[in-house]
Amino acid sequence: MDPNESLIYQKWCWENNITIYPKPVVYNGSRCKIVINTNGVENIRKEVYEDKPSSRLIEIEVSPGKTKKVKQVIPGLYDEIRRLYKETYLLNKDLVA
């Protein structure tokens, strides 16, 4: 995503009282959850993010009784925050007069 494009989404969200920011889950701040604050109401997402992208193995069911391990990529913290600003803008821009 272009940095200028990201700023457009972020500015629109701020003007409409929506902020998205990290909330540390460990003392040194290396692992964070993401908070979406809308008009002072915080929604804390469940996924934990690190500064850099990471991955983990998860099991998915491919058929009844059979599972397969696949690699799930978790984006970096600030990449995910930028993505959420864009998603929030695109979902809500037509709803705000």
Instruction: Give the residue among 36, 35, 39, 14 at the shortest CA–CA distance from 24.
Output: 35
The architecture CATH gives domain 3-50+77-92: 2-Layer Sandwich (3.30)
| Domain edges within the chain | 3-50+77-92
3 pLDDT band (50/70/90 cuts)? confident
Confidence (pLDDT) at 4: 86
- For every residue of 35-89, DSSP letters joined together read EEEETTEEEE-S--EESS-EEEEEEEEEETTEEEEEEEEE--HHHHHHHHHHHHH
On whether the CB atoms of residues 74 and 2 are closer than 8 A, the answer is: no
- Model confidence over 70-93: pLDDT tens digits? 998 999 999 999 999 999 999 988
Tokens read off for 59: 């099991």
- Model confidence over 15-44: pLDDT tens digits? 999 999 999 999 888 899 999 999 999 999
